[in-house]
Amino acid sequence: MTGLILRVIAAEPVADRIRWLRLARPDGAELPAFTAGAHVEVTLPDGQTRPYSLIDFDATSAAPDTYHLGVLLETESRGGSMHMHALSLGDTVTLAAPKTDFPLHDGPEPALLIAGGIGVTPMISMATALKAQGRPYRLVYAGRSAASMAFADRLAAQHGAALTLHHDDAAGGPLDLRALIGSAAPGTQVYVCGPRPMIEAAREIATAAGLPVHFESFDAVTPQEGDTAFEVEVASTGAVFTIPPGRTIVEVLEEAGMDLMHDCLRGDCGICQTEVLAGVPDHRDVVLTDAERAEGKLIHICVSRAKSPRLTLDL
């Protein structure tokens, strides 16, 4: 991938297993602008890429000279977080220009920002932008413990009463999303980033309450115990492909030469949504509602699998 080649100018731990990296051009020149919710794709030594949200603490995203990343060292890292945690001062990183798949929406409505763990990174930029614009907002940041929550002190100093910190261990359990979203004013725009169970719960609760909800998850969908091979029939040609455990429908069909629409490959953007003509999908996305999943007529082929021996897809 051709992209920006930036140098690590600062790196420090800011919470349990979370590292704050600051990247700049070797000559100190200005970097491409970005908007709240943007991320960059970092290229790993093996050529794979990993997305990381850009953090904007000071409303400098329109003319940045430094990119700030917060990287969690995953317990089951596929190589991305291990590489990022191993970087030293002076090392170079190649990344693509910023991209925004998780934007703030214009309008006067209040915003409720819900962050879980490392999901706080895009929310920091959103809170910064909302404050700078004078728009009403609330940032609720949840984590297992105070020690696991990066940037909490800085956020408290910047956002004051607009920030709520929730520590699972001190509170005796996870954030009560139903009470939180239920207390939001009508028309509130709900944004959530964090673990998939949090996103799925927040989406269902907000949708039931009639509130617009926006979300993003950088969690990779990993194979589950008990996954077995299944077949996919392409309705337009009748061709049948076997999807083995550990591989996705997108991977197998693209290797066979099919040109498919997709983007995130994590089951959260919805671009690869495909109609199911026959068979029972095993949903692993965070886009479909419970009702849509029960109906079984749609599937996100970048992550989801099959409960039946074969799926026939409208491709």
Quickly state the pLDDT bin for 88 (edges 50, 70, 90): very high
- Domain CATH code at residue 82: 2.40.30.10
Predicted TM-score (pTM) of this structure: 0.79
Does one domain contain both 258 and 292?
Answer: yes
Does one domain contain both 212 and 294?
Answer: no
Q: Regarding beta strands 18-24 and 67-72, do their DSSP bridges make them parallel or antiparallel, or are they unpaired?
A: antiparallel
**Once rounded to an integer, what is the mean pLDDT over residues 104-112?**
94
Distance CA 34, CA 221 (A): 27
**What pLDDT is stored for residue 48 in this prediction?**
84
**What pLDDT is stored for residue 221 in this prediction?**
62
| Of 65, 95, 125, the domain-final residue | 95
As for how many domains the chain has, the answer is 3
- Domain CATH code at residue 188: 3.40.50.80
Does one domain contain both 207 and 147?
Answer: yes
**What pLDDT is stored for residue 1 in this prediction?**
43
Dihedral angle of Cα 156, 212, 129, 196, to the nearest 10 degrees: 60
**Once rounded to an integer, what is the mean pLDDT over residues 243-271?**
87
Quickly state the pLDDT bin for 220 (edges 50, 70, 90): low
**What pLDDT is stored for residue 76 in this prediction?**
65
Does one domain contain both 190 and 269?
Answer: no
| Of 216, 242, 258, the domain-final residue | 216
**Once rounded to an integer, what is the mean pLDDT over residues 155-176?**
97
**What pLDDT is stored for residue 268 in this prediction?**
76
| R_g of the chain, CA atoms, integer Å | 20
**Once rounded to an integer, what is the mean pLDDT over residues 101-118?**
94
| Of 184, 216, 248, the domain-final residue | 216
DSSP one-letter code for 147:
G
Residue at 104 is within a domain = no
> What residues make up the domain containing 294?
230-313
Does one domain contain both 299 and 239?
Answer: yes
The per-residue pLDDT for range 280-298, each reduced to its tens digit, is 999 988 888 888 889 999 9
Can you list the alpha helix ranges (DSSP code H) found in 77-174?
Answer: 80-86, 120-133, 152-159, 168-171
